[in-house]
Structures are given as structure tokens and as C-alpha cells.
Amino acid sequence: MQELPVVSKIDPTQSKIQKPNWLRVKLPIGEDYKHVRGLVDKHKLHTICESGSCPNMGECWGEGTATFMILGNICTRSCRFCAVATGRPEAVDWDEPQRVAEAIHLMKVKHAVITSVDRDELEDGGAQIWYNTIIAVKTLNPGTTLETLIGDFKGNQPDIQKVIDAAPEVVSHNMETVERMTRKVRVQAKYLRSLSVLETLKKGGMRTKTGMMLGIGEEKQEVIETMKHLVDVGCDVLTLGQYLQPTKKHLAVQRFVHPDEFAELRDIGYELGFDYVESGPLVRSSYHSEKHIVQGWGRNKWMEEKEQLLAV
């Protein structure tokens, strides 16, 4: 049975909190940015950079990288934090995997990130397109490492297995928020189901990753509790970033988390056992993702930083 969206009313009395200066970002400029812009347009590709209103688009595109979004740009779910459009998606484009592979080849990137909208109306949730895309990218770009940011496929094991069988270097599935806030923030998602997806991926031999937004109404101790749950299912990489309200129709920001708190949570994450923790106000799931594929890199760097502080 298909899960129907449940849309909660937005509180019109919510006041907007002024954005602090540490959230300022660079405008997208430069030849590399124009080059990526041209490739995305030419190949009729969708990027989460645009659809998700990512604050790092200028920096990433300026460095010649982008996160591609497959299975169209209309999602069947109605998460209250997400800028991607909700509605009835168009028919599956079976030529899309090859176009994505060709674009990555033309961009000559060493590391690529691919994500997708949720396609709950499809019997396999889009798993076959996922498989085809990963294989196409790896075939045409054998020297390119790949991270895939997937949905939960409603917890369907055979669909998750298709992604595992395609063998990307990293498979990410975002928790987005703490257990108490999940129903309000992610609407059709389930906290325990997302943990189960990550556990299935890990048992399948994947390097696993997840991301969370802060400042949406969660408590600090709840974040730490979720971090513990993630370690229990073997999650390797964790990203923590500030939630930013895409439009007035989305959930309002409850607070802007100070960079010092992000730094503290980074330390806690490593102490709990994560292999890599990326934590900061402007961090998004694919930010610096090329570093997330290397086992031990983040933890070793963190340990070196600690040793340097003790030596002072």
C-alpha cells in the first residue's frame, strides 16, 4: 500500500530569527562555475545543488563538481525541510543513467555524488535506475569514485540490495533529524526504518554515511542519542549542518547553532566511534565528500589535532 503524505499546518506566528554572519556564503561566479552550469543545462540534468537550494553551490560548482539528482526533480514525499518539489513525477527516463555518466566524464571529476528524489509510486522505488546509473558511471569513468545518497526504499531489502550489488564506494542515507522530530520533519519517513537501511547497507559491505540538520527544534542530548544509535548500526561517516528554511512554507529555523557547538559535536562523534565526522554550519551531506571515502582519514586527522593541543 502506498504511503500518503501527511501535511501539517505551518504556524503563521513563527517569527524569523536573524541569520548570523557565520552563515554568509560566496556568490556563484567564475569560469568553472559557468562550465558546470553549461554541462548541467546541455545534458538536461537535475542537481540537488539547485533543487535543494544548497548554500555551497557556488563553492562546489566553482571547483568543477556537482551532486546529480536522478529519477527526475519531483518527489513523491513532502518533507517539511526540503526545497525539492512534491507532486506526481514524470515517467522514468531510462536514458538518464547514460547522460549522467557522460556528464561526469566531461567534467573529469575524480569523485562524484548522486542522489535522487523518492519515487514511492514505482514498484521498486527506482532501484533499477539506481543500479543502471551506478554501473554506467563506473563503466565510463573507471577512475572516478562514487557516493550515492539514497532514500529508504520503504525498507524493501531487495531494492536496497540492488544498490549494494552495484558497489559504489560510499552509500549514504540521511537520518535528517532526531527520533522525536522525525514525524514532523520527514512526514512519510520512519526513524527506525532509516537506521535499519543503514544497518542493511553496512552488513552488505558498504561504507555507510548519514547526515543530520540542527536548529530545527531538536535538543543537544537527542542529537547525541541519535549519534549513539548510528554507531550501533555501524555507520562510518556523519555530517552535521545548520538547517536553513528554504521558503516560508517550510519549517522555521528554531535556532542558529554556533560553530563552537558544531565543533563540540564533532569531538563527541569521534569519541563515540565514527570514522569521519564533518560538522559545521554550512556542512551538507555531499560537502567535502571526496574525503569521506578514505577509511581512517578523518579520525587520524582528529587525533593529530588533539595531540597538537595537548602538546601546547
- Provide the pLDDT for residue 103: 86
Could you report the per-residue pLDDT of 176-201, keeping only the tens digit for each?
Answer: 999 999 999 998 999 999 999 999 99
Confidence of residue 302 (pLDDT cuts 50, 70, 90): very high
Please determine, for residue 171, whether its predicted confidence score (pLDDT) is greater than 90. Answer: yes
Confidence of residue 13 (pLDDT cuts 50, 70, 90): very low
3-state secondary structure the chain: CCCCCCCCCCCCCCCCCCCCHHHCCCCCCCHHHHHHHHHHHHCCCEEHHHHCCCCCHHHHHHCCCCEEEECCCEECCCCCCCCCEECCCCCCCCCHHHHHHHHHHHHCCCEEEEEECCCCCCCCCCHHHHHHHHHHHHHHCCCCEEEEECCCHHHCHHHHHHHHHHCCCEEECCCECCHHHHHHHHCCCCHHHHHHHHHHHHHCCCEEEEEEEECCCCCHHHHHHHHHHHHHCCCCEEEEEECCCCCCCCCCCCCCCCHHHHHHHHHHHHHHCCCEEEECCCCCCCCCHHHCCCCCHHHHHHHHHHHHHHHC
**Structure-model confidence comparison of residues 33 and 76, the more confident one:** 76
Confidence of residue 263 (pLDDT cuts 50, 70, 90): very high
**Structure-model confidence comparison of residues 286 and 99, the more confident one:** 99
Determine the average pLDDT of the residues in 245-266. 94
Could you report the per-residue pLDDT of 40-98, keeping only the tens digit for each?
Answer: 666 665 555 554 455 555 555 555 566 788 998 899 998 888 888 899 999 999 999 99
Confidence of residue 232 (pLDDT cuts 50, 70, 90): very high
- Provide the pLDDT for residue 9: 43
- Provide the pLDDT for residue 3: 40
- Provide the pLDDT for residue 20: 84
